[in-house]
Amino acid sequence: MAFLRLFGLYFLLTLLMMIVGFIAAGSSYGIVIFSIIAIAINLFSYFYSDSIVLRAYGAKVIERNDNPRLFGIVKKIADLNGLPMPRVAIVPSTTPNAFATGRNPKNAVVAATTGIMSVLDDNELEGVMAHEMAHVKNRDTLVMCVAATIAGFISFAARMMWWNSMFGGRNRNVHPGIMILVAITAPLAAFLLQMAVSRSREYHADATAAKLTNKPWALISALKKLEWENHRKPLDCGSPSNAAMCIVNPLRGGDFFINMFSTHPPMEKRIKELEKL
């Protein structure tokens, strides 16, 4: 199932890149170039997804002695559930949040901000780290990193095409109106694909975390605190394209429009689903 999700995402985002390439070049030449770029991005994301995300957040991989509390909680979850022990990292940010990355369970990293450890008690922190390890277990981490990387490139290419059409450097075989339309809709389509995958995986990770710890109430309590804290003080590091990887949306304000297009499901719905367990 995880393989099918990954293949489907690769296919749709690569197809979108090829369309942008065709419109930008006005010929099949653009399709070939953007196909090669898509393959290169996919391969790079597969092998270096963890390094990309850790560097974006300034995260540092730790050992047990660096933070016995966080390291011990992650090891407890892994040992009790027969999961590979992931690397553990800390993000130097006072905003409480957490994420996971890596191409598979054997090459995974779970990360937490310094702020989350000061806001949550041990049971709540265990629920959060179980959620991140659930993403690893369900192989969501590679899917989301690839989505973020390709979506970011599509946005960059669309911006270049927009400016090219504005300043007369457009391809004469393509109507400028079509170039502008694609420049606007391609990044939106890439984001909507990323959002759809992210939202469905959050529900699944919540449910898996509840089973890993047998403490759905702890995760519910943690989510409530994190929702409030991130609303009050958004995360001050990382990239918007990687926001989907965090346990709660680290970038949003609170208005309806932003929530509607958030990479995360509404917190009320996540909590209601957990309360059913």
Contact, 31 vs 21, CB < 8 A? yes
**CB atoms closer than 10 angstroms to residue 10:** 20
**If 0-12 CB within 10 Å is exposed, 13-18 middle and 19+ buried, where does residue 94 land?**
middle
Is residue 132 flagged as an active site residue?
A: yes
**If 0-12 CB within 10 Å is exposed, 13-18 middle and 19+ buried, where does residue 239 land?**
middle
Q: Where in the chain does DSSP place strands (E)?
A: 60-62, 87-91, 98-101, 109-113
Contact, 117 vs 70, CB < 8 A? yes
Of 132, 202, 227, 229, which residue is the catalytic one? 132
Pairing of strands 98-101, 87-91: unpaired
How far apart, in Å, are the Cα atoms of 63 and each of 2, 69, 89, 118?
30, 11, 9, 19
Contact, 169 vs 235, CB < 8 A? no
**If 0-12 CB within 10 Å is exposed, 13-18 middle and 19+ buried, where does residue 164 land?**
middle
How far apart, in Å, are the Cα atoms of 139 and each of 4, 6, 73, 144, 265?
11, 9, 21, 9, 19
Catalytic site positions: 132
